[in-house]
A = this chain, B = another copy of it.
């Protein structure tokens, strides 16, 4: 193969599950660094982007496809509202609901943060070139090679 870009194969008998988790942690680290300047985490960005793409929605309409608990969504919107990236507005056609809509600042921040995450993904993928299913183990090792700790 040619995917062990200077990192070689996993030492010992690392479990596939560990390698997957390790690669995930590595990407989370890169993504976290990319999002830090915006004060966002990946989930908050996902909410912001969804609102910008799909338009204002209630908290639960937002929560379902993102697989977030309804009570957790309260906290996410609280945070985004605190950063003035979104607004809560009563839904005129259903007064039980809040319509969550991005502010102009929110739309701009969402676009910028998305670019930053795109760059982080590119950095992440730079660790691997070509892949083979039977050698996924080696690929994941390479992907996670820079993960500190």
- Does A124 sit at the interface, judged by CB under 8 A? yes
- Does A23 sit at the interface, judged by CB under 8 A? yes
Which B residue's beta carbon lies closest to that of A42?
B17
Task: Given A133-B130, A149-B67, answer yes or no on A17-B21 (Cβ-Cβ < 8 Å).
Answer: no
Interface stretch of the complex, out of A24-32, A77-85, A94-102: A24-32
Most chain B CB within a 10 A radius of its CB, from A27, A133, A149: A133
Cα–Cα, bound, A18→B43 (Å): 10
A18: chain B residues at CB < 8 Å are 42, 46
Are B117 and A15 touching (Cβ within 8 A)?
A: yes
A128: chain B residues at CB < 8 Å are 133, 136
Q: Which of B3, B129, B131, B133 contacts A125 (CB 8 A)?
A: B133
- Does A112 sit at the interface, judged by CB under 8 A? no
Cα–Cα, bound, A49→B131 (Å): 29
Most chain B CB within a 10 A radius of its CB, from A21, A67, A149: A21
- Does A121 sit at the interface, judged by CB under 8 A? yes
- Does A139 sit at the interface, judged by CB under 8 A? yes
